Amino acid sequence: MSSDENIVARIWRYIGAFQHGILRIFGIFVILFLLIVFIGGLLSNDEFELADSGVLIFAPEGPVVEEPTTISPNDAFTASLLGGGPGSEVLLSDVVEGFRRATEDDDVTTIVMNLERFGGGYPAALHQIAHEMDAFRDAGKEIIVYGDNYSMTGYFLASHASQIYLHDMGGANVNGYAVYRTFFRSLLERLNVTVNVYRVGTFKSALEPYLGDEMSEPAAEANRYVFGDLWNAYQDSVEAARGLSDGALQTYADQFPELLVAQGGDTAAVSLNEGLVDEVIGRGHYRDLLEERFGRDESEDSLGFVASDFFDYVEANREFNLIPSDKIVVIKAVGGIVDGNGDGGVIGGDQHAELIRRARLDDDVRAIVLRIDSGGGSAFASELIREELEMARLEGKIVIASMGGVAASGGYWIATPAHEIWAEPTTITGSIGIFGFIPTFEDSLAEIGVYEDGIALTETARQPSQFGGVTEEWDTILQSSIEAGYERFLSIVAESRNMTRDEVDAVAQGRIWTGQQAFDRGLVDQLGGYDEAIAAAAARAGLEEGDYRVIEFRDEVDPFHQFLQMFGQSAGVAVFGEGLLGSGLLGDMARGAQAEIETINMMNDPNGIYATCFECTAFRTAH
């Protein structure tokens, strides 16, 4: 019997070795293939040439972001499985740079936009792109856009085009802003899960889904106020660009059901009659129109008409200035704030503090511009970043904070040491408040006969446990720590803004504001974008244009890690195409759940104290 078992074991060992060998050989071939493709790209002599037609095709895929997202290979594979993830992102700086260069380039006459795969962005980013589109048109040039359907964010950009085409089965889905959250209190009660929440701030609604079954009135009030401001900005911009009467979009959204019935259910006809689009046309006729105007392109990878890719144009015309020794350093703080280190799309407290330290110790650095696009996170990590910025300021460096789409809670915390805080009118900021959150399962485990017991030699020796709950002593400790943390936050802001503690508290309490509202309340110094922040840094440092260069400090991405991420995503796409769950309702729900889980997984503050605005991310895709 023993001999038979040895033979069987030996056979399975050989089979396992054979399988591992095949996988290793396959992996080697894949790596060699990708290396050949990479080296071939490096050795390629192909140079960008602008099409004779002077047309650029602007077809963004994914959301507009401040910096690329870097994730683990496993997460890249999972994201591809769900139909999302990195690789489908558009850098705001590339879009702005491309439009500006095209505006000044006499050889570029037209930009043709396709927004079918555009993933939206924060209002501040969309308004900045729209501004560059207006400048392009003001230079006597043309923007043409076509869509099968237009989302809220897609239509916002489309409205600034010279000509808007729409498929005859499509529509402009301009329904106004709304924000809804999923509430879990009743479910948690049914499961006997204890939610231990510690917070300060009437409007700090990050954890409301775990405490109730509906949005609280203070949260609803704050959301109405902020979303109302953003919706007004949206309407003003679109109505001005399209020459619509004041209130036309409000009427369109409110009366859309009646308008649709009057048109026999034809959404395209409603969009046309209400002036949101210029012409309803099928794809084939639209392609014929472009070919007739700009010439037919017979190459295999063309869209049928003679044009060049917008992002190839940006890359080919990128300029690098290495001459002046004086530097203005830009450090981007993008994503959730976590303790330790973080990849692109996540702000690591240690990592970003070290970047600031590098700039602080560099004698050629005259100013630091912190570009923020974050809803916050770990309070401790936020403080590490703030401390390092404050040291830079005390040692004579000019420090400017430039707020992008969102700079709230911890994102506002890290802006406080700046000589000047700049925000866009539609930036989401504020949310000055903190909280702690410990779910425990002692009651639900007790129902199935699982208990935790032991001894503690002091009243505080037994620390909070997910299996044993939170003792009364620790309940007091945690709430006291949160209250002290909130007071610290208030004092930091008060000192930074030259306000009293009570004045800050009146505009704090976890409440969010738009950049314009924050400016009116003294929480920011100036309204403006990235360029204005750079100019302010140069002026404060006494630097004339041409006497300095702007460089970005960021951690170098490990090429092997980048390769593995690319491989993980490529494998996911190869196996599952555009996603196992597709782009429908189920896929959207799965990706939403994944985002919630990722947010919770990033909660690693060593003290369990968070300055986070969970609801702020809703503004990027609000619809």
Q: How many CB atoms lie within 10 A of CB 104?
A: 11
Long-range contacts of 286-289 (CB under 8 A, 24+ apart): 286/146, 286/165
Place of tokens 């230079």: 139
Burial of residue 570 (CB within 10 Å: 0-12, 13-18, 19+) is middle
Q: Which two tokens stand for residue 49?
A: 């040439």
**Is residue 348 classed as helix, strand or coil in its secondary structure?**
strand
Question: Is the separation of the CB atoms in 386 and 412 below 8 Å?
Answer: no
Query: How far, in Å, CA of 308 to CA of 23, rounded?
Result: 41
Give me the catalytic one of 204, 327, 332, 397: 204
CB 576 within 8 A of CB 342: no
- Residue 553 burial (CB count, 10 A): 18
Contact 281, 30 (CB under 8 A): no
Catalytic one of 53, 409, 431, 496:
409
Q: Catalytic: 204?
A: yes
End-to-end CA distance of the chain: 69
At residue 304, the 3 state secondary structure works out as: coil
Q: Copy the structure tokens of residue 99.
A: 């439009």
- For the record, the structure tokens of 116 come out as 């079918």
The verdict on whether 409 is a catalytic residue reads: yes
Q: Which amino acid is at 202?
A: T
The one-letter code for the residue type at 45 is: N
Count other C-beta atoms under 10 Å from residue 517's C-beta.
Answer: 21
The two tokens of residue 541 are: 């440092």
**The two structure tokens encoding residue 94:** 């590339």
> Count of residues for the chain?
623
Catalytic residues: 204, 409
